[in-house]
């Protein structure tokens, strides 16, 4: 029997690059920035043998532009960056959303704002990943919490990008990026490819919605001559200011993701069934939280964890369900309070929300969160 | 001159360009260049940024990408590396290519990416309403230089020569046959080719600087063209600004043509290609 997995001792950033190759990535364009540079350094080694192309661009704006160009040429394409570079990529995240060009953007989060703390972990880009580019647009953002999950969710990011014709963002932090862990890597993964048109070239309209609202996408050079623009456009792909056509585009851009939230959203529920107190955490903090919940259970505290692996679209209904059950919901994140606002909104006042926030460059530890869980009722805040 | 309408997206008309603007002449010359090379239109990709010149891509019946402001060379780089069989042409302007996008242009040239860049230099930002550009001559009036431009301009070809572009040429929009010839030479050049096309903007530059309408501006450019072919004797800015001193000339033709390695990204070398 073929082995289904093989063990490896690798960093999160290495897992990311290996996953990209496994998912069929054939183009990488990037710009060096700590703590994501290892992804590029792995890709340049792995891509040529996989039949792909690597280029180091002049900045992050150009990196994502090159990625989009390559995707339009039919490649699965990716870039990786960190905070300041992610800020520069916002222009083209919007362009990819508007033009519906599949691509994967990995943001290994470091402390901000600005140059901040290049080698410290952070979860300060969670809102930027959702709202960083201007204008209304859908967002799919995945947040792995371990090296193994970096592999799994990077593969998933490619598949979601292809399926929904949208940029997909993977966010993890410096700790996961640089930590070496022993992981079991699958020898093969499920691969999703974008839907190609079947109509004749002269009948092809590049933005005519398919059955699920997602237009079929040929590559440049495949015999379909079409126009791609970041201007609001009609189904023929040509600029329009007609409110009906612009409205239809904006509605479809959102509904093609919102209608499939159930499919896109992944939430880990840990020891929640009888929980009276729960932690909401994602990424590396989710791992500390899991450990803290286990310790609390050993101490007789009925604690649980809700951990979104998909942070956007935000799993509002799952959070609401937990909020209706527990007395206290602790939101732990390595920032000054970003997703806590979403948790409060989804909870609708049904539980006490407590923030355990930290943005000083140090991780939130299991001990920190265990101490939070241990506090008697009424002492928090 | 052939009938190039088959390359035009007539369904996309009317176009957005102003009367007297030479951009249409440039597009026609490009269509001629495509036909003279017998290129398969399915394999021609036109990549543009933002601005008047960049809107040309929308009217050309090829694979067309109307990207973001200044970034066309970066989009084109990804496209060309992923699909080397495409003929990739960037259409940009002096604001798009030399201000916000100067870095991308310089680095595509440095790498010797096998694409052709057509830079339509009308010495002003047209699409946004006549603001000063990096090529607006000193003293010229723009909407953001009402007292005359105090900033120094630079020569696009100088910049690209410095960036090691392996093919650099300049041509006047008023000489469409020469323009087609240079486009064919640029596109068939193996490596990065840059062609500055000296164009007009009667609506803003012409009006603000009393340089006349489209016909007058293009005619005056023709008179100033010394027709200097390679090697370049001298090159100066085109100066539309009325002045008591004789206007400087503008050298046209091929300013550099050299053979050097083309960068196709880090990839496994296909022995069949060498």
Residues of B in CB contact (< 8 Å) with A are: 9, 11-12, 41-43, 45, 47, 57-58, 61-68, 71, 74-83, 85-86, 103-104, 106-107, 264-268
| Residue with more model confidence, B3 or A24 | A24
pLDDT at A17: 98
The size of chain B, in residues, is 274
pTM: 0.95
ipTM of the modeled complex: 0.96
Across the interface, of B64, B265, B267, the residue whose CB is closest to A227 is B64
Residue among A95, A45, A85, A63 nearest B78 (CA): A63
Q: Which of A133, A158, A186 is the last residue of a domain?
A: A186
- pLDDT one-digit tens code per residue, A93-106: 999 999 999 999 99
A339 within a domain of the structure (yes/no): yes
A318 within a domain of the structure (yes/no): yes
Across the interface, of B58, B64, B74, the residue whose CB is closest to A66 is B74
The enclosing domain of A308 has a CATH number of 3.40.50.920
A34 and A182 both lie in a single domain = yes
A232 within a domain of the structure (yes/no): no
Sign of the dihedral defined by the CA atoms of residues B117, B121, B125, B129, in that order: negative
Q: Which of A77-81, B237-241, B247-251 has the lowest mean pLDDT?
A: B237-241
User: Where does the pLDDT of residue B234 fall: very low under 50, low under 70, confident under 90, or very high at 90 and above?
Assistant: very low
| Distance, CA of B26 to CA of B173 (rounded, Å) | 6
A53 and A163 both lie in a single domain = yes
| Residues in chain B within 8 Å Cβ distance of A70 | 78-79, 81-82
- pLDDT one-digit tens code per residue, B49-84: 999 999 999 999 999 999 999 999 999 999 999 999
A16 and A152 both lie in a single domain = yes
| Residues in chain B within 8 Å Cβ distance of A53 | 81-82, 264-267
User: How many domains in chain A?
Assistant: 2
Residue of B nearest to A61 (CA): B71
Q: Do A70 and B67 touch (CB under 8 A)?
A: no
Q: Report the pLDDT averaged over residues B214-239.
A: 54
- pLDDT one-digit tens code per residue, A188-217: 999 999 999 999 999 999 999 987 899 999
A179 and A286 both lie in a single domain = no
Distance from CA of B90 to the nearest CA of A (A): 12
Phi (first) and psi of residue A333, to 5 degrees:
-150, 150
Percent of chain A with pLDDT over 90: 95
What count of other Cβ atoms lies within 10 Å of the Cβ of residue A324?
11
User: Where does the pLDDT of residue B138 fall: very low under 50, low under 70, confident under 90, or very high at 90 and above?
Assistant: confident
Residue B226 has pLDDT above 50, yes or no: no
A322 within a domain of the structure (yes/no): yes
pLDDT at B232: 34
Across the interface, of A57, A225, A229, the residue whose CB is closest to B74 is A57
Phi (first) and psi of residue A160, to 5 degrees:
-70, -40
- The tokens describing A180, both together, are 């070496």
Q: Report the pLDDT averaged over residues B134-138.
A: 90
Q: Do A62 and B65 touch (CB under 8 A)?
A: no
Substitution target from A223, A227, A241 for chain B, most B beta carbons within 10 A: A227
Sign of the dihedral defined by the CA atoms of residues B142, B146, B148, B149, in that order: negative
The enclosing domain of A174 has a CATH number of 3.40.50.970
- pLDDT one-digit tens code per residue, B118-127: 999 999 999 9
Q: Do A58 and B104 touch (CB under 8 A)?
A: yes
Give the list of residues 6+ apart from residue A29 with CB closer than 8 angstroms, or none.
A54, A55, A56, A57, A62, A63, A64, A65, A66, A67, A70, A77, A79, B77, B78
Q: Do A65 and B12 touch (CB under 8 A)?
A: no
Q: Do A221 and B45 touch (CB under 8 A)?
A: yes
- The tokens describing B59, both together, are 């009217």
A227 within a domain of the structure (yes/no): no
Spatial contact of A275 and A304, defined as CB atoms under 8 Å apart:
yes
A199 within a domain of the structure (yes/no): no
Across the interface, of A27, A58, A223, the residue whose CB is closest to B78 is A27
Residue A312 structural domain: 267-374
Q: Do B78 and A221 touch (CB under 8 A)?
A: no
Residue of B nearest to A50 (CA): B268
Q: Do B66 and A229 touch (CB under 8 A)?
A: yes
Residue B235 has pLDDT above 50, yes or no: no
Q: Which of A168, A186, A204 is the last residue of a domain?
A: A186
CA end-to-end distance (rounded Å), chain A: 56
Across the interface, of A48, A72, A222, the residue whose CB is closest to B79 is A72
Q: Do B264 and A53 touch (CB under 8 A)?
A: yes
- pLDDT one-digit tens code per residue, A312-341: 999 999 999 999 999 999 999 999 999 999
Across the interface, of B41, B75, B267, the residue whose CB is closest to A48 is B267
Q: Which of A160, A186, A212 is the last residue of a domain?
A: A186
| Distance, CA of B145 to CA of B138 (rounded, Å) | 10
CA R_g for chain B: 18
User: Where does the pLDDT of residue A143 fall: very low under 50, low under 70, confident under 90, or very high at 90 and above?
Assistant: very high
Substitution target from B43, B65, B92 for chain A, most A beta carbons within 10 A: B65
Across the interface, of B63, B75, B265, the residue whose CB is closest to A55 is B265
Q: Do B68 and A227 touch (CB under 8 A)?
A: no
Across the interface, of B45, B79, B268, the residue whose CB is closest to A70 is B79
Q: What is the average pLDDT score of chain A? A: 96
| Residues in chain A within 8 Å Cβ distance of B82 | 26-27, 53, 69-71, 73-75, 77
pLDDT at A188: 92
CATH assignment of B20-257? Answer: 3.40.50.970
Q: How far is CA B210 from the centre of its chain?
A: 24
A215 within a domain of the structure (yes/no): no
A312 within a domain of the structure (yes/no): yes
A170 and A292 both lie in a single domain = no
| Residues in chain A within 8 Å Cβ distance of B65 | 69, 72, 220, 228-229
Residue among A265, A264, A254, A314 nearest A98 (CA): A254
A44 and A161 both lie in a single domain = yes
The size of chain A, in residues, is 381
Give the list of residues 6+ apart from residue A243 with CB closer than 8 angstroms, or none.
none
Distance from CA of B215 to the nearest CA of A (A): 30
A163 and A286 both lie in a single domain = no
């Amino acid at each position: 029997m073929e082995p289904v997995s093989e063990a490896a001792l690798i960093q999160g950033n290495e897992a990311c690059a290996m996953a990209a190759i496994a998912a069929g990535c054939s183009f990488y364009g990037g710009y060096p920035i700590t703590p994501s540079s290892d992804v590029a350094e792995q890709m340049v080694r792995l891509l040529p043998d996989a039949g792909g192309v690597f280029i180091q661009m002049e900045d992050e704006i150009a990196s994502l532009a090159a990625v989009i160009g390559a995707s339009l040429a039919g490649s699965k394409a990716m870039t990786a960056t960190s905070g300041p570079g992610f800020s520069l990529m916002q222009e083209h995240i919007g362009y990819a959303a508007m033009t519906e060009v599949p691509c994967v953007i990995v943001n290994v989060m470091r402390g901000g704002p600005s140059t901040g703390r290049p080698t410290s972990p952070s979860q300060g880009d969670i809102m930027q990943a959702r709202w960083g580019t201007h204008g209304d647009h859908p967002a799919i953002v995945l947040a792995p919490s371990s090296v193994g999950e970096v592999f799994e969710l990077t593969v998933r990011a490619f598949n979601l990008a292809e399926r929904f014709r949208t940029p997909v963002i993977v966010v993890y932090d410096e700790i996961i990026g640089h930590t070496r862990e022993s992981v079991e890597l699958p020898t093969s993964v499920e691969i999703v490819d974008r839907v190609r048109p079947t109509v004749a070239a002269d009948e092809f309209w590049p933005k005519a919605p398919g059955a699920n609202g997602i237009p079929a996408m040929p590559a440049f050079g495949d015999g379909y001559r079409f126009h791609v623009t970041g201007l609001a456009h009609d189904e023929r792909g040509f600029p329009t200011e007609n409110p009906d056509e612009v409205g239809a585009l904006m509605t479809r851009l959102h509904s093609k993701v919102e209608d499939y939230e159930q499919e896109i959203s992944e939430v880990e529920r840990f020891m929640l069934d009888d929980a009276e107190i729960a932690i909401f955490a994602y990424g590396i903090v989710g791992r500390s939280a899991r450990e803290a919940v286990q310790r609390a259970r050993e101490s007789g505290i009925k604690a649980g964890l809700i951990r979104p692996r998909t942070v956007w679209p935000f799993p509002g209904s799952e959070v609401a369900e937990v909020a209706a059950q527990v007395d206290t919901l602790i939101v732990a994140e390595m920032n000054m309070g970003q997703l806590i606002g979403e948790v409060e909104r989804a909870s609708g006042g049904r539980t006490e929300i407590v923030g355990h926030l930290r943005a000083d460059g140090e991780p939130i530890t299991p001990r920190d969160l265990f101490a939070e869980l241990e506090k008697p009722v009424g002492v928090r805040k | 001159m052939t009938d190039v309408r088959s390359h035009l997206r007539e369904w996309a008309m009317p176009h957005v360009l102003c009367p007297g603007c030479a951009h249409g002449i440039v597009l026609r010359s490009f269509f001629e260049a495509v036909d003279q090379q017998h290129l398969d239109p399915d394999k021609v990709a036109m990549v543009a940024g933002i601005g008047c010149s960049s809107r040309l891509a929308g009217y050309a019946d090829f694979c067309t990408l109307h990207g973001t402001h200044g970034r066309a060379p970066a989009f084109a780089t990804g496209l060309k590396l992923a699909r080397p069989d495409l003929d990739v042409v960037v259409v940009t302007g002096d604001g798009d290519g030399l201000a916000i996008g100067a870095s991308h242009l310089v680095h595509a040239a440095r790498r010797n990416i096998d694409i052709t860049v057509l830079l339509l230099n009308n010495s002003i930002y047209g699409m946004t309403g006549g603001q000063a550009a990096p090529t607006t001559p000193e003293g010229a009036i723009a909407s953001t230089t009402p007292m005359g431009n105090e900033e120094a301009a630079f020569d696009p070809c100088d910049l690209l020569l410095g960036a090691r572009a392996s093919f650099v040429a300049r041509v006047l929009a008023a000489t469409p046959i020469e323009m087609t010839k240079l486009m064919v030479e640029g596109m068939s050049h193996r490596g990065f080719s840059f062609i500055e096309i000296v164009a007009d903007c009667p609506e803003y530059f012409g009006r603000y600087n009393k340089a006349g309408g489209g016909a007058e501006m293009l005619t005056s450019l023709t008179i100033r063209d010394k027709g200097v072919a390679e090697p370049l004797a001298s090159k100066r800015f085109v100066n539309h600004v009325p002045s008591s001193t004789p206007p400087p000339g503008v050298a046209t033709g091929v300013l550099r043509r050299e053979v050097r390695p083309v960068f196709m990204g880090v990839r496994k070398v296909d022995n069949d290609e060498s």
